Chain A
Amino acid sequence: MMALAFDVVLAALLILAALAAVAGRGLFRAVIFFIVYGVLVALAWARLGAVDVALAEAAIGAGLTGVLLLAAHGRLRREGLEADPGAGGQGFAAIGGAGVALALGWAWFALPEPATATRAALDSALPDAGVGNPVTAVLLNFRSFDTLLESIVLLAALVALWMLARDGAWGERLGLPQHARPGGVLASFGRVLPPLGLLFGAFLVWSGADDNGGAFQGGTVLAASLLLAMMAGLYLPPRIGERLWQSALVLGPVVFIACGLVGALVWGGFLVLPPAYAKGVILAIETGLTISIAATLALLVIGPPEQAHNSGGAA
């Protein structure tokens, strides 16, 4: 009974947060409700027993996306463009959204009993996957090609973001200069938290093999640590093309493809992992991916190169 009441309240809050995010006025309000919505969705995933999805949703859906939206809002405010452009095609969007929701709802009720064949195939293959967590097994073994492409999608997003830089700012450091008072709260946090974040991020990756966690969750925590160090002014953001950073960005996909090619040459097929070596190879790929994901996410939040570094302009 308590569980049912919790679910009903959660579902109601989800709908309210979603409505508040899209229907209200004001960009800032929309961003805040979007973050609230992400946290609630993460809760819902946890309620459904999908802890890995919940972690990813909280870290990326609510956390990272929220930070990106807040940064975008801050930028609009600095340029004096934060006024809500107002209703443009909102009615059309509402009708379209309602139509899709109705069609999906109808189709959901018409769904046949879930097929058991896939579950059986998964259960029988899992002992050969090298890892105990079925989510990790799917992401890094059974459907590793998807994950390889996803890691490259992230890289494409970063290159796309860089293309939004002003031509005059190309070659400058990424992002706006950060100002932290020496000895202030941010500066102290910047010293204390990153080592803890490093530890926790590494734990999440290691734990992802047989329990909950994984490269995306761990990478997000590491990215947050990196960002904190940069925001505290302890570490200057790089320029595009700095060899160390560029290598960190591509490390994960390169290790991934290299392991795939080893599979093709030695183990009989691209991305093939023999059970005896699977765990080691998966951990190697996950380590590479974590570093790349952390670097990519951190640079996504820092933003494109900005001119203000030279002119010493205002923050």
Chain B
Amino acid sequence: MTPLIWLVIAPLLGALAVLVVPARRMPAVALGAAAATLGAALALAAQVAGLGPRTVLLGGWTPPLGIVLKADGLGTAFAVMAALVMSGVALAARHELAPDKAGARAAYGFWPLMLLVWAALNTVFVSRDLFNLYVGLELLSLAAVALVALAGSREALAAAMRYLLFALTGSLLYLAGVVLTYSAHGTLDMAMLLARVPATGDGVALGLMTAGLMAKTALFPFHVWLPPAHAAAPAPASAMLSALVPKASLVILLRVWFEAMPDAAGDAALLVMAGLGAVAVIWGGVQALVQRKIKLVIAYSTVAQLGYFIIAFPLTGGDSAVKPWSAGAWTGMVFLALSHGLAKSAMFLVAGIWYSACGAQELRDLKGLARALPMSAFAFALAAVTLAGLPPSGGFTGKYLMMQAAFVAGLWPFALVMVAGGLLAAAYLYRPLAALFAKDEAISCAPVSRVRQAVPLALAAAAIILGVLSAEPFSFIKIGKPDAAVEGL
């Protein structure tokens, strides 16, 4: 039994198991499933590092009939990042979503939904079949929407409804592109699509899939659902929603452009996409700067960070000629996405601690909080270093690679946008930090155990370590890297 199968099956079995055990046993069963999935992700990473990409033909059938799962460096790196974040989320949720704190309903729903999100993420990270990816995305969106509704308030339900409508529109557009691709080429497998004879409708198919995935990733201008949705959910759910869920559609976007149809990429389309990304970086940053609630600052920061990922697309080249810098932009973007996941989950978990222990929801409630809960304030500061792209974090490594590519490619305006985005991030993160470390009299907080504070600290530290030890992850994500990411789109 290979770790690649367990990566998908362990969280699925966990989700089914928590639905049949008595409610009081749910957290223990879910933590068991989390441990098994984390183990599978680490074992898979060891295999991929040692032996190269791992492939499974499901049911033993080869494409175009069957579905292929393939774990390369990219997918495995995301699976490991997701496993770390999910483990932290599960540990935090034992407290935050206990029935006496969150209510019996939310305490019941959280565990199956969390495990379903995880199973869907892992499926998306390793599947190479366009329709199977659609099913994975559907499972992901449905569980994510339910997590937004978990809080039960009027705002949470409205945010969940809006998220659902965007997610379904995105699914429909993506599915339309998949159907077109299948009817033109008779296959859904990415490796077969790469070797296809290009058809006239490929551009339309790619455009539809891209629009759908952009809506799901909350890339500008489809971002409007994200801030209210991420802010409305309980903190451990927000951590998943912001750190992990948009990464699934981002990975599909990467795979469709670089692995299935690199030849269908056009200069103009790439620049339009990157332009939208640039607007997202600035718009998200400015919005984060004017928010008063902590969770909304963090959520708008996600809108901005997602913009960077899309900027990387034209930096990987503009036509199929070999571009020496494209490999750097692709790798930089993946670095950025991984470190964003770790840092963003740390921030939301910290915000959850502050809310449940100190009742702090707005930035002004944070005054002097660092003295009451120093460990959590330190975790927030570490995560801020990564999000602002300061050395030695993984965020810095990613941005550095992307900016280098932007200058070499002659697309320096995008480098300027990245600098501006970094400055904006420093500014919007300075506000909570200034409040935290203000010399006011310390506010009163309920005691929070060291372990609970250590979870976000560990995640924030992991994002820094990713930058300090960048050589190892750098060569890891290149395992099985598509040619188009080396040579340019």
Give chain B nearest CB distance to A279 CB in angstroms: 15
A173 to B323 Cα, complex, angstroms: 63
Q: In the bound complex, do residue A153 and residue B200 qualify as a contact, i.e. CB atoms below 8 Å apart? A: no
> What size tier do the contact residues of chain B reach?
35 or more
Beta-carbon contacts of B217-233 to A below 8 Å, as 1s and 0s? Answer: 00000000000000000
What is the chain A residue whose CB lies nearest that of B146? A160
| Residues from 127 to 153 in B contacting A, C-beta threshold 8 Å | 131-132, 135-136, 138-139, 142-143, 145-146, 149-150, 152
Beta-carbon contacts of A6-32 to B below 8 Å, as 1s and 0s? Answer: 000000000000000000000000000
A263 to B120 Cα, complex, angstroms: 22
Give chain B nearest CB distance to A76 CB in angstroms: 14
Of A60-68, A103-111, A187-195, A307-315, the one with at least 4 CB within 8 A of chain B: A103-111
User: Is B9's CB within 8 Å of the partner chain A?
Assistant: yes
A115 to B199 Cα, complex, angstroms: 12
| Residues from 100 to 146 in A contacting B, C-beta threshold 8 Å | 100, 103-104, 106-108, 110-112, 114-119, 121-122, 125, 141-146
Give chain A nearest CB distance to B96 CB in angstroms: 16
| Residues from 18 to 68 in B contacting A, C-beta threshold 8 Å | 19-20, 22-23, 56-61, 64-67
What is the chain B residue whose CB lies nearest that of A102? B204
Beta-carbon contacts of A146-187 to B below 8 Å, as 1s and 0s? Answer: 100110110111011011111100110000000000000000
Q: In the bound complex, do residue A152 and residue B146 qualify as a contact, i.e. CB atoms below 8 Å apart? A: no
Q: In the bound complex, do residue A163 and residue B186 qualify as a contact, i.e. CB atoms below 8 Å apart? A: no
Give chain A nearest CB distance to B372 CB in angstroms: 30
Q: Which of B104, B112, B145, B208 contacts A100 (CB 8 A)?
A: B208
Q: In the bound complex, do residue B61 and residue A125 qualify as a contact, i.e. CB atoms below 8 Å apart? A: yes
User: Is A284's CB within 8 Å of the partner chain B?
Assistant: no
**Which of A145, A150, A162, A243 has its CB near the most chain B CB atoms (within 10 A)?**
A145
**What residues of A have a CB within 8 angstroms of the CB of B135 in the complex?**
146, 149-150, 153
Q: In the bound complex, do residue A171 and residue B131 qualify as a contact, i.e. CB atoms below 8 Å apart? A: no
Q: In the bound complex, do residue B16 and residue A253 qualify as a contact, i.e. CB atoms below 8 Å apart? A: yes
Q: In the bound complex, do residue A153 and residue B184 qualify as a contact, i.e. CB atoms below 8 Å apart? A: no
Q: In the bound complex, do residue B58 and residue A107 qualify as a contact, i.e. CB atoms below 8 Å apart? A: no
Q: In the bound complex, do residue A156 and residue B59 qualify as a contact, i.e. CB atoms below 8 Å apart? A: no
Secondary structure of the B contact surface, majority rule: helix
Q: In the bound complex, do residue A264 and residue B5 qualify as a contact, i.e. CB atoms below 8 Å apart? A: yes
User: Is B105's CB within 8 Å of the partner chain A?
Assistant: yes
**What residues of A have a CB within 8 angstroms of the CB of B204 in the complex?**
103-104, 106-107
Chain A to chain B contacts (Cβ below 8 Å), 29 pairs: A100-B176, A110-B200, A111-B201, A112-B199, A114-B183, A116-B186, A118-B187, A144-B58, A152-B15, A153-B138, A156-B116, A156-B142, A157-B142, A159-B112, A159-B116, A159-B143, A167-B104, A171-B104, A246-B19, A246-B20, A247-B20, A254-B16, A257-B12, A260-B9, A269-B56, A269-B59, A269-B60, A270-B9, A271-B59
Q: A164-B149, A261-B9 are in contact. List 11 more A-B contacts (CB 8 A).
A: A107-B200, A111-B183, A142-B61, A143-B132, A153-B142, A159-B143, A159-B146, A254-B16, A269-B56, A269-B59, A270-B56
Instruction: Write the residues of chain A forming the contact surface with B, with a CB cutoff of 8 angstroms.
Output: 100, 103-104, 106-108, 110-112, 114-119, 121-122, 125, 141-146, 149-150, 152-153, 155-157, 159-160, 162-167, 170-171, 240-241, 243, 246-247, 249-250, 253-254, 257, 260-261, 263-265, 268-273
Instruction: Write the residues of chain B forming the contact surface with A, with a CB cutoff of 8 angstroms.
Output: 1, 5, 9, 12-13, 15-16, 19-20, 22-23, 56-61, 64-67, 103-106, 108-109, 112-113, 116, 119-120, 123, 131-132, 135-136, 138-139, 142-143, 145-146, 149-150, 152, 157, 173, 176, 180, 183-187, 197, 199-201, 204-205, 207-208
